[in-house]
Amino acid sequence: MQQVNLGMVGGGTVGSGVVHALTQNGSLMASRIGVNVALRKVAVKMFDEPRPYPIPRPLMTENWRDAVEDPNIQIVAELVGGTTLAKEIILSALRLGKPVVTANKALLSAHGEELFAAAKEHGANLHYEASVCGGIPIIKSLREGFVGNRIAALYGIVNGTCNYILTRMKLEGADFADVLADAQRMGYAETPPDLDVDGHDAAHKIGILASLAHGFWVNPKDIYVEGIRNISALDIKFAGKLGYTIKLLGIVKTFDGGKPAKKGGCSAQVSVYPTLVPNTHVLASVNYAFNAVFVHGDIVGDTLFYGRGAGKDATASAVLSDLADAALDLKFGNKHRIPPFVPHECKGAVLPIEEAVSEYFVRLQVVDRPGVLAKIATIFGELKIGISSVIQPEGHEGRSVPLIFMLHRAPNGAVLRALKKIGSLPAVEGKPVMFRVENFE
């Protein structure tokens, strides 16, 4: 049986998980692809650092170049994370013509265009299935499985930490701060948790998926991002009474079914924000640390990908998938795959969030006196924003009471202008709370 040699940089949670997975199922993979992937070197920070799975001492080195530049190593796996050293490692391997496997979504989000250009220049492939949603094969599905589809919409629960926190807030009626502190104690959330709870990790991932879905590179600076810090137990409670669950969604959608506009351009909304999801929709039932991506293609229709989005074993599964592809490419001398990010029908652009259209949930705290509702409705009407329902929940009698509005589809910019005016009314206390509503129509 033919053999290819693997050099790996990173021996922490993911790296040791890959070593364990190769030890456990390497022979199974070899029997399926007809190539044995032999691990020859693992570059680590320290030989004796704690790790979930042991790595044989003879395989380890503290010099990453030993795992990249050795002429006997044919495939390189970058599993160190970050955007500085990792970038140098990947570029070094690609310049040597070696295929690279990475799980580094932050690096791909920040420098993907440069990395894929380098891969093309040096005739090497860059594999990145593990960069989004752990063991869920969403990258390969978008890149290959849906190659004959226009992707009209993609909705992703792609951050397990946020989904864990929101699930517990809903089921327990707990506040964000309390659940976050508990999640940190249990290891579900980092300290500090900003990357996750402020939506940046989800933005890294949704940007990669958006680029794949629409063929043009999405600049991370163009992605509109909101996190979950401002979600209260009260908002989750009211949303539930209206038949909705609040989820942090990464959203990629067009408003023309994915087809290019007549002038040759096309635009897609690429955003991350808390969203009211109908309880009848499958994404509402994705709980705790699980991930899910809901994709609508113009030919295939609706599809769902569900599973664990992080962790040593789920990520290792995706890395092994990429290693198998890289090994097969070497076996058959193939350097060509479906290009990752190529404008396929038009020059693309990310739609400004002000122009994106959705429905809305708005919660106000208002002084309980006659005429207040009329003033608020007038402001919405002046900006051509329709009100689908108004609810004043019972049991909140007093000087001020909550007032809930469900709004018809309208541009984000118009709604934000309306809320700014409403927030300045003397009868409105505090800042208006607004969440977008997605009914998947």
Are the C-beta atoms of residues 112 and 217 closer than 8 Å to each other? yes
Choosing from 41, 105, 205, 253, the catalytic residue is 205
β 357-367/428-437 pair status: antiparallel
Report the alpha-carbon distance of residue 177 to residue 231 in Å, rounded: 10
> Is 262 annotated in the active site?
no
Please list, in sequence order, all residues whose beta carbon lies within 8 angstroms of the beta carbon of residue 216, skipping any fewer than 6 positions away: 341, 343, 347, 348, 349
Q: What is the secondary structure of 171-183 as a DSSP string?
A: HH---HHHHHHHH
| Element containing residue 205 per DSSP (H, E) | helix 200-214
Burial class (CB within 10 angstroms; exposed 0-12, middle 13-18, buried 19+) of 378: exposed
Report the alpha-carbon distance of residue 116 to residue 114 in Å, rounded: 6
Residue ranges of the alpha helices (H) in 41-159? 64-68, 85-95, 105-121, 138-140
| Element containing residue 377 per DSSP (H, E) | helix 372-382
**What is the C-alpha radius of gyration for the chain, rounded to an integer number of angstroms?**
24
How many residues belong to the chain?
Answer: 441
| Element containing residue 61 per DSSP (H, E) | strand 60-61
Are the C-beta atoms of residues 220 and 186 closer than 8 Å to each other? no
Laid out side by side, the sheet with 2-9 consists of 60-61, 35-43, 2-9, 75-78, 100-102, 126-127
Residues with catalytic annotation?
205
